[in-house]
């Protein structure tokens, strides 16, 4: 007998189309940040500001690990011949610019999304981001601070994206599918990170228009395509969407007892949110997740360049390994997590804690290994570390990321905003840490940075294991839900 509503992965499933559109949104959000990680290697003349780690000997340049790279080859490569001359500290500041912009807007954005709907907000944000992305090459050539301002403006828009996306997810995805759906739309992060490293390294060597400007023109064009797609596919609430079937609408409405035609959340329970241990567990994990992601997106290419003297083509391949692994793994484990919850083998809280522990502790250990085990003649170890990191890090989608949607789905945008305030601090802390360690000229620079990230991952794993929760908080349940829970508890006691 056919099910009353379309299966998630059926052709008739509009909630799947919504998830794929949100994946496109996340792809562009990360691309606008991660593209600079590879592009800056091509934008800036690499010979204009030599560092003390670049030691020339017999016509070769030696990294801090002694990996040789021919000086003539480096100097003659077109991707290193840009006319832009920015010193290393200024380059690090560019990565921080967008995160500083996000901190200004990220908290209020979730409140606006929950009260007035996220669709209009996202349309405006992506329109501005697309215009600035097209203008990026001209701003960079014109003036450093003009380009810095462009990054800051994009960052202000980025502060709206996560809260708005999670606000949509809170209404569009039922509890039994939240891990799977979160895995699908957050896959845009890994797609962006992996493709920006690989495509960016290829476009840098193209002679047309100077090579690296093509990176920004490509993402600007994709921004236009996204705006068209988003406008027609997405509505703030399923009840307002003309493309979905009645059966699917009934299914979604029945999965959220609080869902009504009313589009505004009447009152946000601030005290309950700020005193909830589960919410703060999500906040801590969001901070660490963002810190780690910032290191991977912005500095893995520089790490492989400085430590192992990898040429640009190989650099892109090594950088994309952890992101491709995450993309594959997360879409396997997320349905597994939902199955464990549906079947009753694990409670939502047990599932979240186990998966987040694997993510936090596994990625911490892998960061340590990545900092100390690879060498010039054992680069395969870096690939293995990248694969293991990608596997373990991907488990967080079924941990704290799902919990942001389930703790209080009616206030998912607000909770995400609170988490992302600290997440943006984590994003900004990574480039500032790299800048500080570089300025201090400490030995084992990259080992210190990777150990720094590993320590925070370990701490977040402990915090979530103690305070994390995958269940809806009592203060976020409707009176009907609370009554049903009380009746269920009473029935269990009678059965005992």
pLDDT value at 1 more than 50: no
pLDDT value at 454 more than 90: yes
| % residues pLDDT > 90 (the chain) | 18
pLDDT digits (tens, 9 = 90+) for 375-411: 888 888 999 999 999 999 989 988 898 888 788 877 7
CATH topology of domain 14-52+61-243+267-473: Growth Hormone; Chain: A; (1.20.1250)
At 260, the pLDDT band (50, 70, 90 cuts) reads very low
pLDDT of residue 483: 47
pLDDT digits (tens, 9 = 90+) for 301-329: 778 878 887 776 677 778 888 888 988 88
pLDDT digits (tens, 9 = 90+) for 263-278: 444 577 888 888 999 9
Q: Which helix (H) or strand (E) holds 60?
A: strand 60-62
Output 389 or 60, whichever has higher pLDDT. Answer: 389
Comparing C-alpha atoms, which of 47, 48, 40, 73 is closest to residue 59?
A: 73
pLDDT digits (tens, 9 = 90+) for 231-256: 898 887 787 778 777 877 777 777 66
Q: Which helix (H) or strand (E) holds 61?
A: strand 60-62
Over residues 414-438, mean pLDDT: 83
Domain ranges for the chain = 14-52+61-243+267-473
Cβ–Cβ < 8 Å for 460, 360: yes
At 178, list the tokens: 């939240």
Q: To 10 degrees, the CA torsion angle through 417, 25, 94, 103?
A: -10
Output 352 or 38, whichever has higher pLDDT. Answer: 352
At 225, list the tokens: 């395509």
pLDDT value at 65 more than 90: no
pLDDT digits (tens, 9 = 90+) for 174-199: 767 777 777 788 788 878 877 776 77
pLDDT value at 491 more than 60: no
| % residues pLDDT > 70 (the chain) | 80
At 37, the pLDDT band (50, 70, 90 cuts) reads low
Task: Pinpoint the alpha helices (H) of 257-377.
Answer: 270-274, 277-308, 312-342, 348-372
Cβ–Cβ < 8 Å for 439, 97: no
Highest mean pLDDT among 4-13, 123-132, 413-422, 473-482: 123-132
Q: State how far the Cα of 329 lies from the Cα of 323, in Å rounded to an integer.
A: 10
pLDDT value at 366 more than 90: yes
Over residues 114-122, mean pLDDT: 81
At 363, list the tokens: 């990625």
pLDDT value at 209 more than 80: no
Burial zone of 311 (CB within 10 Å; 0-12 exposed, 13-18 middle, 19+ buried): middle
Of 61-75, 157-171, 333-347, 402-416, where does mean pLDDT reach its minimum? 61-75
Cβ–Cβ < 8 Å for 296, 464: no
Over residues 218-230, mean pLDDT: 91
Cβ–Cβ < 8 Å for 243, 14: yes
Q: State how far the Cα of 263 lies from the Cα of 432, in Å rounded to an integer.
A: 40
pLDDT value at 62 more than 70: no
pLDDT value at 85 more than 90: no
Burial zone of 380 (CB within 10 Å; 0-12 exposed, 13-18 middle, 19+ buried): exposed
């Amino acid at each position: 007998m056919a099910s009353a509503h379309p299966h998630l992965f059926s052709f008739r499933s509009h909630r799947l189309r919504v998830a794929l559109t949100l994946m496109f949104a996340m792809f562009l959000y990360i691309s606008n940040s991660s593209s600079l990680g590879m592009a800056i290697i091509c934008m800036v003349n690499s010979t204009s500001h030599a560092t003390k780690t670049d030691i020339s000997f017999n016509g070769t340049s030696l990294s801090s690990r002694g990996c040789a790279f021919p000086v003539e080859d480096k100097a003659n490569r077109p991707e290193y011949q840009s006319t832009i001359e920015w010193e290393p500290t200024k380059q690090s500041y560019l990565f921080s610019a967008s995160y500083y912009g996000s901190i200004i807007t990220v908290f209020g954005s979730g409140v606006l999304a929950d009260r007035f709907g996220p669709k209009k907000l996202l349309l405006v944000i992506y329109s501005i981001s697309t215009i600035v992305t097209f203008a990026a090459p001209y701003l960079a050539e014109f003036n450093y601070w003009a380009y810095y301002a462009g990054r800051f403006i994009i960052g202000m828009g980025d502060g709206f994206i996560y809260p708005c996306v999670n606000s949509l997810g809170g209404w569009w995805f039922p509890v039994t599918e939240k891990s799977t759906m979160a895995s699908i739309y957050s896959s845009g992060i890994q797609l962006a990170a992996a493709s920006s490293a690989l495509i960016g390294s290829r476009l840098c060597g193209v002679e047309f228009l100077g090579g690296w400007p093509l990176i920004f023109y490509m993402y600007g064009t994709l921004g236009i395509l996204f705006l068209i797609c988003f406008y027609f596919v997405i509505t703030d609430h399923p009840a307002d969407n003309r493309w979905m079937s009645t059966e699917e609408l009934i299914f979604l409405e029945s999965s959220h007892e609080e869902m009504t035609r009313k589009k505004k959340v009447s009152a946000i329970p601030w005290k309950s949110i700020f005193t909830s241990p589960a919410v703060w567990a999500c906040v801590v994990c969001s901070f660490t997740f963002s810190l780690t992601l910032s290191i991977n997106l912005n500095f893995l290419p520089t790490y492989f360049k400085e430590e192992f003297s990898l040429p640009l083509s190989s650099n892109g391949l090594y950088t994309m390994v952890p992101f491709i692994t995450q993309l594959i793994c997360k879409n396997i484990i997320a349905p597994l997590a939902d199955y464990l919850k549906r079947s009753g083998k694990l409670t939502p809280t047990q599932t979240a804690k186990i998966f987040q522990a694997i993510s936090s502790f596994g990625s911490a250990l892998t960061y340590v290994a990545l900092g100390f085990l690879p060498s010039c003649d054992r680069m395969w170890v870096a690939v293995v570390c990248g694969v293991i990191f990608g596997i373990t890090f991907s488990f967080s989608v079924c941990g704290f990321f799902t919990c942001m949607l389930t703790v209080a789905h009616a206030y998912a945008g607000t909770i995400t905003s609170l988490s992302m305030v600290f997440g943006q601090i984590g994003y900004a802390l990574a480039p500032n840490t790299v800048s500080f360690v570089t300025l201090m000229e400490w030995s084992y620079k990259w080992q210190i940075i990777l150990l720094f990230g590993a320590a925070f991952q370990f701490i977040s794993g402990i915090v979530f294991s103690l305070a994390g929760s995958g269940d809806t908080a009592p203060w976020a349940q409707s009176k009907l839900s609370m009554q049903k829970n009380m009746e269920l508890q009473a029935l269990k006691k009678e059965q005992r």
